[in-house]
Amino acid sequence: MSLTRGGSKVCDGTCRTVEIEMSESSTTRHCDVVEYRVGGKAHYDAASYDRIRYIGPQNEYKQTVMANAYMRLIRPLAGKRMLDVGCGTGRGVVEFARESHLAIGCDASLDMLGFAARKAKDIPSCGLIASNAGHLPFQDAAFDVVASLNFLHLFNIDSQRFLVAEMKRVLKPGGTLVLEFTNALNGAAVGLFRKWVGSQPGVLSFPHEIRSVLGENCRVVRVYGAPFPTVWRFFYRFPKLFQNVEKLGYISPFKWFCQRLYYLVKKDHGPL
């Protein structure tokens, strides 16, 4: 069965990126536009994206703690078709492809997808496609699992609501949706202060705002938090010990004070 709409093809096992031609009506007028490219300013430079976020013992610890949380919500993946929305440089979708029947990463940045393609070149179950997250080029109910990680915080709440509705459209009834949000309550007063003064990059979300973003015809199954803010800069020195301590972020009330919140959502068996 074809996954795409309008005759567009998902890339094959060679993991070439395929650019989707959008009509004028398929623009992002309902959604913020965020551009990552080689040579972009600060955090928007695709060439330094991995180095800033993944390289070095502190980053490696933080990313491991976060991956432990969201993988626990996403699994099992065996035999499933998965979509990673806003896949960036491909670190997530490559790992998903190792466990799933098919994992497709989509991103609007061809520069970011270029780095993703290098990681995915030897993984036949991994596909990459260039498309806008607000207008995914896939049929309704095409995927068993849809995830969006380190992505939604780039957009305002109204745009998040629009994007999540599109993710639910391509998700099968009863399917799994896993979403990452930057928590406005992280570190209690720390997160509130950063939201108030606007010092935190991206959008910080309160739990009630997240619930409004999720919309109707779905239910929240589980929420995990990770990592604990600030202290992870010390915890990384003893990773084996503190990776277990960080699992306290999977339970209340601790999860509500973590830096990121991971929502496991199930789509209802019925029309959106």
- Can you list the positions of beta strands (E) in the chain? 18-19, 81-85, 102-107, 126-130, 143-148, 171-183, 204-205, 218-226, 260-267
Is 6:138 a contact under the CB 8 Å cutoff? no
Supply the pLDDT for residue 247: 97
pTM above 0.85, yes or no: yes
- Can you give the pLDDT at residue 195? 60
Task: Give the Cα separation of 211 and 214 in Å (integer).
Answer: 5
Under a CB-based contact definition with an 8 Å cutoff, are residues 172 and 202 in contact? no
pLDDT cut 90: percent of the chain above it: 73
Q: What is the pLDDT of residues 170-209, one digit of tens each?
A: 999 999 999 999 999 987 766 666 666 665 557 889 999 9
103 φ/ψ sector (left φ>0, alpha ψ -120 to 50, else beta): beta
Residue 156, SS3 per DSSP: coil
- Distances in Å between the Cα of 140 and the Cα atoms of 84, 166, 235 are 16, 9, 43
Residues 182/205, Cβ–Cβ less than 8 Å: yes
Q: In 10 A of CB 38, how many CB atoms?
A: 15
> Are the C-beta atoms of 179 and 261 separated by less than 8 Å?
no
Residue among 122, 175, 10, 121 at smallest CA distance from 1: 10
Length of the chain (residues): 272
Q: Given the DSSP bridges, would you call strands 204-205 and 18-19 parallel, antiparallel or unpaired?
A: unpaired
pLDDT for the residue numbered 190: 66
pLDDT of residue 256: 94
Q: Measure the CA–CA gap between 238 and 234, rounded to whole angstroms.
A: 8
User: Across the 272 residues of the chain, what is the mean pLDDT of every consecutive 10-residue run?
Assistant: 53 40 40 81 88 94 97 98 98 97 97 97 96 96 98 95 98 98 83 62 87 97 95 92 97 95 93 47
Q: Report strand pairing: 260-267 vs 171-183.
A: antiparallel
Kindly list the domain boundaries of the chain, sorted by start residue.
33-267
- Measure the CA–CA gap between 63 and 127, rounded to whole angstroms: 23
Provide the pairing of β-strand 126-130 with 102-107.
parallel
CB 61 within 8 A of CB 239: yes
For 33-267, CATH gives 3.40.50.150
Round to whole Å and give the CA distance between 141 and 199: 39
